[in-house]
Amino acid sequence: MNHGWLHQKNIVIIGGTAGMGLAATLSFITEGANVVAVGLDENSCNETARLVDSRGTAICADATDPFTPVNAIETCVKTFGSFDGLYHVAGGSGRKMGDGPLHELTLEGWNKTFELNLTSLMLSNQAAIRWWLEQKKPGTLLNMSSVLGVSPSPAYFATHAYAACKSAVTGFTKSIAAYYAKNNIRVNAIAPALVETPMAQRAASNEAILAFVKTKQPLDGGRIGNAADLNGLACYFMSDHSKFTTGQIVYVDGGWSISDGQVSTI
């Protein structure tokens, strides 16, 4: 009988009620996991709770609150009996908060973007690590980076605080992976390019950006990624198939990081 790659795994997804996080929540459940999905929007949380039924639960909470991941892990343990992995997806653009090119970047935009994308990730990783160390159990962490952390795109994606955050995710992931490998705690990251999510609406509705993406992400006809494009890799990292893999950053970018991309001059 095929139980799925994540059979009997109990997983917390921070940012698991929308976009790439929701896609992962549903995929993990399909692969046999029980999931605690944390989201900020109440409507999304209610809809996620309906979709996961008895195989999961949804919590409406702010990922930048230090208590949020602690509560999610406690809920996972109380509901499903254990806690095996955490996938941190929460984050987003700081453009509306003041992020942008350095000469226009506001201090508030910098701080808010870091809080949303990096501080929240540190808090969730810390809560998970502490639980596994206290219980003397192995575990697996999966973080969300971005291709913009290593492959900038100045014409259409000049948000310098966001790029700094996602580059920092790479360093943070590798550093803690090295430190906790002796505890059999694995830490990896996925770095997507442009994916169709609520965060990507600005780009998805801009014809010039879509034309650019067609040449910058040339795989599969040149398109914006789908949230489901990340699911296979996420399942791998959260499963025992990756039990000898840690400290890796894998780019699911449609070819972004190896393509020039043609910026329209019209």
Predicted confidence at residue 161, as pLDDT, reads 98
Nearest to 154 by CA among 101, 204, 109: 101
Residues 70-75, mean pLDDT to the nearest whole number: 98
CATH at 105: 3.40.50.720
Any bridge partners for residue 249, and if so which? 189
The kind and range of the H/E element at 140 are: strand 139-144
Dist. CA 219–CA 50, nearest whole Å: 34
> Is 3 within a domain?
no
Residues 229-256, mean pLDDT to the nearest whole number: 98
Dist. CA 133–CA 143, nearest whole Å: 19
Dist. CA 237–CA 11, nearest whole Å: 12
Instruction: Decide: helix, strand or coil at residue 64.
Output: coil
The string of pLDDT tens digits covering residues 5-39 is 999 999 999 999 999 999 999 999 999 999 999 99
167 touches 146 (CB < 8 A): no
pLDDT exceeds 60 at position 2: no
Which residue blocks in the chain are alpha helix, DSSP H? 19-30, 42-52, 67-80, 107-114, 120-135, 160-180, 201-204, 207-216, 231-238
The string of pLDDT tens digits covering residues 132-158 is 999 999 999 999 999 999 999 999 999
Predicted confidence at residue 200, as pLDDT, reads 64
Cα Rg of the chain, angstroms: 18
Instruction: Decide: helix, strand or coil at residue 189.
Output: strand
> Is 138 within a domain?
yes
> Is 90 within a domain?
yes
> Is 239 within a domain?
yes
- Find the Cα–Cα–Cα–Cα dihedral 14, 252, 235, 30, rounded to 10°: 90
Predicted confidence at residue 203, as pLDDT, reads 76
> Is 205 within a domain?
no
Dist. CA 24–CA 88, nearest whole Å: 11
> Is 123 within a domain?
yes
Predicted confidence at residue 1, as pLDDT, reads 47
> Is 208 within a domain?
no
Predicted confidence at residue 171, as pLDDT, reads 98
Q: How many structural domains are present in the chain?
A: 1
Task: Name the residue range of residue 241's domain.
Answer: 10-200+229-253
83 touches 76 (CB < 8 A): yes
Average pLDDT over the chain, rounded to an integer: 95
- Both tokens of 48, joined, read 């996620």
- Both tokens of 162, joined, read 């966001």
Band (78; pLDDT cuts 50, 70, 90): very high
Phi, psi of 114 (to 5 degrees): -70, -40
Query: Distance of alpha carbon 55 from its chain centroid, rounded?
Result: 21
The string of pLDDT tens digits covering residues 230-243 is 999 999 999 999 99
> Is 222 within a domain?
no
Residue 13: CB atoms within 10 A of its CB come to 32
